[in-house]
Chain A
Amino acid sequence: MHELGIAQALVEQVEAVRVAHGGRPVLAVGVRIGSWRLVVKESLEFYYEAITRGTALEGSRLEVETVEATARCRRCGGEFRVEGSLLVCPDCGSLGADLLSGQELDLVSVELED
C-alpha cells in the first residue's frame, strides 16, 4: 500500500531531473530498494505506470534493483545476510542485530533520450 506514496515521490524527483536536463523524454528510471522496506516491486511498477500515464514520463521503464538485508550481530560482531524478517545471528544465535543494508530507498539513475 505504501508503494503509491513512494511512486508519487519518485515521479516528482524524476520530473525534476528531466526538466533540469532540457526536458528530454525519459526512457528509464533506476531505483534501488532494500528488501527490509517490504516494497512490492510489482505494486510499485503498477502505480508508476498508472500515475505517469498522460504525463511526460509515460512509457518510461522502471528498473528496480533489490538490495539484500545484511546485519551485524551486537554480541559476536559477525555479519550475516538476514533471512526473513528476524534479526537472529546465525553464528551465536543471539537476538537483535544492527542492520547494515536493506533499508535503501533511492533513485539512482534517469536515462534520457540522447
Chain B
Amino acid sequence: MEIRVLQNILEANDQAAEENRRRLAETKVAALNLISAPGAGKTSLLEKVIPLLRARYQVGVLEGDIATTRDAERIGALGVPVIQLLTNGGCHLEAALVARGLAELPLEGLDLVFIENVGNIACPAEFDLGEAAKVGVLSVTEGHDKPAKYPLLFHELKALVLNKVDLLEHTDFDMDVFLSDFRAINATAPLIQVSCRTGQGLEEFAGWVELTIQQAQADG
C-alpha cells in the first residue's frame, strides 16, 4: 500500500522558523543569520561592527558553536547580551535551538539580533532560522571559487561581506572570476568589501545593517 504525502522534509524546522519570525516581528527586532566557513571572520566582524551600531541601537547576539563558549566570551566582552547555543556536534543551527536562545534574550529592549551560525557553508544554508536575512562572510584567503562550489548558500544571501581584503595582494584570489560567478548565482545581494584589521568597509556594512533594522521597525 502506497501512501502519497508530499511534505517538505524540513517542514518541522520551517514551522519553528516561522514562529521565530513572528516573535521577532512582534517585538520589532531584526535578526541576521551570519554564515561562513570556520575562520572567515564572523566573530571579528561582530566585534568591529557592534560598537558602530551601539550608539543608536540595542544589539543582542546568539552564538552558535559546536563545543566551546570562546566566541560568546569575546562578544560578551563588548557588554551586549549574548546567549551561547551549543549544537553538541551538530554542524548548523536549527530553528528550535534559536527559539530557546531568543527566549533568553531581552527581546523587548532590542533592535537587532545577530545569529552567528556554526562555521560551515554547506548545511546552514538549508535551515531557515526565522531571520530577516542571511548574511555571508567569505574571506579572500578561502579562494574565489567558493560561490560556484556552494551555490545554494550564495543564492540565499541578502548580503555578502568579503573579508580580509587587506590580504588580497598576497593571495591568488581572482576578483573578476569571483564577481562574475557570484553575480551569476545572486544578481542582487550587495557585496561589501571589508577588512576587520584595517577597518575598511565596516561603516558600509554597519549602514546596510541599519537599513535592515529600519525595515524591521517599519514592518513590525
A contacts, CB < 8 Å to B: 1-2, 4-6, 9-10, 12-13, 17, 21, 24, 31, 36-38, 74, 84-88, 95-96, 99, 103, 105-114
Q: Complex formed: what's the CA distance from A60 to B130 in Å?
A: 33
Q: A13-B9, A38-B122, A85-B185 are in contact. Are A109 and B2 (CB under 8 A)?
A: yes
Instruction: Pick the 6 closest A-B CB pairs, nearest first.
Output: A96-B187, A2-B123, A85-B151, A86-B184, A95-B184, A110-B3
Q: Is the CB of A107 within 8 A of B9?
A: yes
Q: Assuming A109-B3, A112-B3, is B180 touching A84 (CB within 8 A)?
A: no
C-alpha gap A110/B4 in the complex (Å): 7
Q: Is B55 an interface residue (CB 8 A)?
A: no
- In the complex, the answer to whether A95 meets B183 with C-beta atoms within 8 Å is yes
Nearest Cβ on chain B to A81's Cβ, whole angstroms: 15
Decide: A109 near B187, CB < 8 A? Known: A5-B90, A5-B127. Answer: no
Query: Contacts of B1 on A, CB cut-off 8 Å?
Result: 21, 24, 111-114
Q: Which residues of A contact B91 (CB under 8 A)?
A: 1-2, 4-5
Bound together, the chains give a CA A112 to CA B150 distance in angstroms of 37
Does any Cβ of A come within 8 Å of B191's Cβ?
no
Which B residues lie at the A interface, using CB under 8 A?
1-13, 90-92, 94, 120, 122-123, 126-127, 147-152, 155, 180-181, 183-188
Which residues in A have their C-beta under 8 angstroms from that of B184?
Answer: 86-88, 95-96
A37 x B152 contact (CB < 8 A): yes
Q: Which residues on B sit within 8 Å (CB–CB) of A112?
A: 1-3
22 contacts between A and B (CB under 8 A): A1-B122, A2-B122, A5-B94, A5-B126, A9-B12, A9-B13, A21-B3, A31-B9, A37-B152, A85-B148, A86-B148, A86-B181, A95-B180, A96-B187, A103-B152, A107-B5, A107-B6, A107-B9, A109-B3, A109-B4, A110-B2, A112-B3
CA distance A99 to B187 in the complex (A): 12
Min CB distance, A102 to chain B, in Å? 9
Complex CA distance for A13 and B3, rounded to whole angstroms: 12
Q: B148 near A99 (CB under 8 angstroms)?
A: no
Q: For residue A37, which residues in chain B have a CB less than 8 angstroms away from its CB?
A: 126, 152
Contact A36 B151 (CB under 8 A): yes
Neighbouring B residues of A24 by C-beta, 8 Å: 1
B6 touches A2 (CB 8 A): no
List the A side residues contacting B148 at CB < 8 Å: 84-86
Residues on the B chain within 8 Å of A114, using CB? 1
A2 and B9 contacting across the interface, CB-CB below 8 Å: no
Interchain CB contact under 8 A, B5 and A108: yes
> Which of B1, B3, B10, B120 is most buried by chain A, counting CB atoms within 10 A of its CB?
B3
Q: Give complex CA distance A111, B1 in Å.
A: 6
Give the residues in chain B near A17, CB-CB below 8 Å: 3, 5
The minimal Cβ–Cβ distance linking A107 to chain B, given in whole angstroms, is 5
B181 touches A1 (CB 8 A): no
Contacts of A5 in B (CB 8 A): 90-92, 94, 123, 126-127
